[in-house]
Copies of this chain bind each other. A is one copy, B any other.
Amino acid sequence: MTEPVVVIGGDAAGMSAASKVKREAPDTEVIVFEQGEWVSYAACGMPYYIKGDIEHLDDLVQVTPEEFRAERGVDLRTGHEVVGIDPDSETVTVRTDNETFEQSYGTLLIATGASAVEPPFAGMDLDGVFTLHDMDEAGEIDRYIDEHEPESAAIVGGGYVGIEMAEALDERGLDVALYEMLPQVLAPFGEAVGERVGDHLSEQGVDLHLETAVDGFSGERAVDAVETEDGRRPAELVVVGVGVEPNTSLAAEAGIELGETGAIAVDEYGRTNDENIYAAGDCAESTNVVTGEPDHVPLALTANRAGRAIGQTITGTPQPVGEIAGTAIVKAFDLGAARTGVLDEERARDAGFEPVSVTIDTASRAHYYPGASELTVTLVADEPSGRVLGASLVGREGAKRIDTVATALTAALTVEELQGADLAYAPPYSPVWDPILTAAKVLGSKLAD
C-alpha cells in the first residue's frame, strides 16, 4: 500500500493542495493535520468582520471542514498539531489533546503559514492588546470591543493590518491613533502612496504618528495607554500589526533548508531540499518574476496557487508553482492603494537594474465625467533595457488597474510595449489615455532622453 499524502496546515496552501490531489487522483489518501479548528478561511476578511461589514466570522470560511471531508474526500483532522518531522523514516509526530502518535507519509507538504510578529514591547500580555493573524484573534477583538467599550485605540504598524484596522476601529467608534516607525505608512507601496494614504488617514481623523517608536503598553490588568518616545497616550485597545514571520521551526528542526529570506527554500515545483517534502504558502519562498530571485511575499493568491500546483505535481503532472510580482492592493477608508513588482530603487539596483521612475497624477475617468477623481501612478523601469520593473497606484477608484502592470511584469514588457497596449476607454471608466498608459508615455519620454 502506498503511504498517504500528508499536509501540515489547513489553510489556503494546504487545503488547495489536498483538494487538488483528491480531484486528480481520488484514490490517493490525503491527510491534513490542522492544529486549530479553522480551515480554509479568508484571513484578509478579518478586519471587515471587526468593522461590522461581515456579520459572521463563519462567512469568511471558503469551504467548511465537513465539505472537505464529505465532498472532497480529504481526511482533515483539526485539533492535530504536528510537532516533529522525521525525513529519514518519513513520518510526522502528531499531538492532540489526548494522544501523541506517528503518521508515515509518502509525500509531505509543509503549509504551516506565518505568525504575527510579537515585538518585545512591555505590556504585550495586558488584556486588550492584540495581534491579528487568525480567526480566534478576530473574534476576540470583536468581543473585547463589545464587552469593554473602549474609547481609544492604538495601532502599531502602518502596513495592511494597521491601515485596515484603523478603518475598522474608526467605524466602531473608537478614537484611533496609528504609530509607524518609518517616515511613511505602507512602505512597500513607495512614497507617493505613503503620502496620500497618510494624508487621508489624518483627514479621516486618525491620529497618525510617523517615525515614532513604541516602547510598550501600560495598565493594570487591561491596557489603558501606549508609551512612545513622545510620551504616553490613552489606548484602551491596542492592535500590533508590525508584520508576519514564516512558521519554519518545524521544518528547520527536521533539516529542511531555509532561504535567505528566512522562509523555506523551494524549487520551481515547491519542493524543498528533501525530495519527498514540499512547502507552500506563507511559510515558503517564491520566485520574484522581476528579479528572478527568491522572495517572501506571504499573500493569499500565492498560497492558493502554489498549493494547487503542488497538488497537481504530486499526482504525477509536474506543475510549477509560478512566480510572484508582490502584487498587493489595500483599502484605506475611501482610498485604494496598490503595488506590483520592484518599486524600491535600492532593491532594483541590487538585482542588477538601473531604475528610473516617474510619478504622475491623472484622472480616474474622463475629466468631464461625474465622479472622476485623482489617481496617482508611479511606474519604475530599468533604464538600459526599458523593461518595466514595478508600479504603484493610489486614488479613490481605479487601484485595481495595477493588474495591467502585473500582467506586463509576467510578460517582461518594456515601457514602450506597455505604452502600446490597447486599454479600454469610455468616459465613465477612464480618460482616453488610461492612467497606466500616461505613466508609460511620460516614463518613455524620460527613457528616450
Q: When the two chains form the complex, which single residue of B289, B331, B410, B422 contacts A428, counting CB atoms closer than 8 Å? A: B331
Docked complex Cα distance between A277 and B328 (Å): 47
* Copies per complex of this chain: 2
Within 8 A of B (CB), among A367-393: 368-370
A433 interfacial by beta-carbon distance below 8 Å: yes
Does the CB pair B368–A422 fall under 8 Å?
no
A322 interfacial by beta-carbon distance below 8 Å: yes
Return chain B residues, CB-CB under 8 Å to A401. Answer: 400, 403
A413 interfacial by beta-carbon distance below 8 Å: yes
A366 interfacial by beta-carbon distance below 8 Å: yes
Q: Name the interface size band of chain A.
A: 35 or more
Q: List 11 A-B contacts (CB under 8 A).
A: A45-B369, A45-B427, A48-B368, A48-B427, A48-B428, A301-B432, A329-B424, A336-B429, A403-B423, A403-B434, A404-B404
Known: A322-B420, A326-B422. A368 touches B54 (CB 8 A): yes
Residue of B nearest to A371 (CB): B53
Does the CB pair A325–B399 fall under 8 Å?
no
Q: When the two chains form the complex, which single residue of B12, B302, B370, B429 contacts A422, counting CB atoms closer than 8 Å? A: B302
Q: When the two chains form the complex, which single residue of B12, B409, B423 contacts A301, counting CB atoms closer than 8 Å? A: B423
Known: A45-B368, A429-B400. A417 touches B423 (CB 8 A): no
Does the CB pair B425–A300 fall under 8 Å?
yes
Q: A336-B428, A403-B421, A411-B411 are in contact. List 15 more A-B contacts (CB 8 A).
A: A42-B427, A42-B432, A48-B368, A48-B427, A160-B426, A301-B437, A302-B422, A304-B432, A304-B433, A323-B422, A331-B426, A399-B424, A400-B430, A401-B403, A410-B418
A contact face: mostly helix, strand, loop, or mixed:
mixed
Does the CB pair B408–A407 fall under 8 Å?
yes
- Rounded to whole Å, the gap between the CB of A224 and the closest CB of chain B is 32
Q: When the two chains form the complex, which single residue of B301, B369, B421, B425 contacts A329, counting CB atoms closer than 8 Å? A: B425
Docked complex Cα distance between A429 and B403 (Å): 12
A266 interfacial by beta-carbon distance below 8 Å: no
Q: When the two chains form the complex, which single residue of B48, B325, B328, B428 contacts A369, counting CB atoms closer than 8 Å? A: B48
A181 interfacial by beta-carbon distance below 8 Å: no
Return chain B residues, CB-CB under 8 Å to A399. Answer: 424, 429
